[in-house]
Every structure is written in C-alpha cells, then in structure tokens.
Amino acid sequence: THILHKAWLKKHPVPLDTPLQVALWDCLTEGIGNYRSLSAKWKTPDGGLSEHAKAILQRLQPIFVERLVALQHASHEEVPALMDGLSMGPFEQKWGALTVALWLVQEARDDDTRLQKWVDAGPNGVLTLAQKYLPDELKNRLPK
C-alpha cells in the first residue's frame, strides 16, 4: 500500500507543506494499510462494521476532529503531540488511521474496487469521507 501511494504521489503531486496536509496524507495512506489488516473482529459477514468497531469509531472520531482542527494553526512545537497516535501506538487508539480504515470498511462493503475513488481523491478525500461519516456536531467543526 505504501509503495502504491508513493507512486501515486509522483503522478499526482499534492502539497504536504502544512501539518494538516501531512496529517491528511498519513490518515489516507495509513488508513488504507489499517483497512487491509482488519480482522473479523472489526467487520460483519456482510462487510459492515461490527459493534466493537462502531464503539471504537465513536470514541476516535471526536479525537480525529479535535486534532485536525488544532493542526490547522499549530506551532512547530505543538505538531508532534497533535500527530501522536495518528498511526502509531496501540491499534485501537490510532485516531487517524483506524478512523479512516473503519470509514473505508463502510465504503467497500467487501468490494475493494469501491475504494479506488478514495485513493484517487488523495488526502482531501479524507475530509470528504469525514463529511460523509461524522455525526453532524463533529462535521461542522472540520477544517475546510
């Protein structure tokens, strides 16, 4: 997945000049990687989210929004703490990668060809996914 994204980035240069842009790129690339590693614990037989996944997503989504909002105006010193846990650390605490992975489960519904549009959308597609899946009270706080 990472090799494919590096090749994609060469063909579709996107700015990675701000902490927010870097975070969105990491959410996309690591999210697809996490999607690929999800076990039956996370998905129902018909390709939906398990109850466990729904509970984790409900916990992670507010953190996802809080961190992305903060990254818009973060100082150089604040960035490492805000990026912490995006894709590293305990799996169930990956506020960026796992959140995106679980949204991708809902998009794919056991048909990975449905994910192509999200790869093609690049990092801004993460915000589109967020607009689709976040509860309204969180959606309204997202970076534009």
The 10s digit of each residue's pLDDT in 82-125 is 999 999 999 999 999 999 999 999 999 999 999 989 988 989 99
Per cent of the chain over pLDDT 70 is 92
Instruction: Name the one residue in this structure whose structure tokens are 């992670």.
Output: 60
pTM of the predicted model as reported, rounded to 2 decimal places: 0.92
**Residue where the block lists tokens 């989210």:** 49
Q: 104, 68, 100: which is closest to 87 by C-alpha?
A: 100
For residue 14 the two structure tokens come to 């996107």
Q: What are phi and psi of 117, to 5 degrees?
A: -65, -30
Cα→Cα distances 2→29, 46, 138, Å: 7, 27, 29
Q: How confident is the model at residue 4 (pLDDT cuts 50, 70, 90)?
A: low
Burial degree of 22 (CB within 10 A; 0-12, 13-18, 19+): middle
Is pLDDT of 144 > 90?
no
Give the type of residue at 130. A
pLDDT of residue 20: 97
Is residue 15 predicted with pLDDT exceeding 80?
A: no
| Buried/exposed code over 65-75 (b: 16+ C-beta within 10 A; e: otherwise) | bebbbbbeebe
Contact 143, 127 (CB under 8 A): yes
For residue 8, pLDDT over 70 is answered with no
The torsion angles phi and psi of 67, rounded to 5 degrees, stand at -70, -45
Q: With contact defined as beta carbons under 8 Å apart, do 80 and 88 qualify?
A: no
Report residue 27 as tokens.
Answer: 């959410």
Question: Rounded mean pLDDT of the chain?
Answer: 92
| pLDDT in the model for residue 14 | 78
Q: Is 127's pLDDT higher than 90?
A: yes
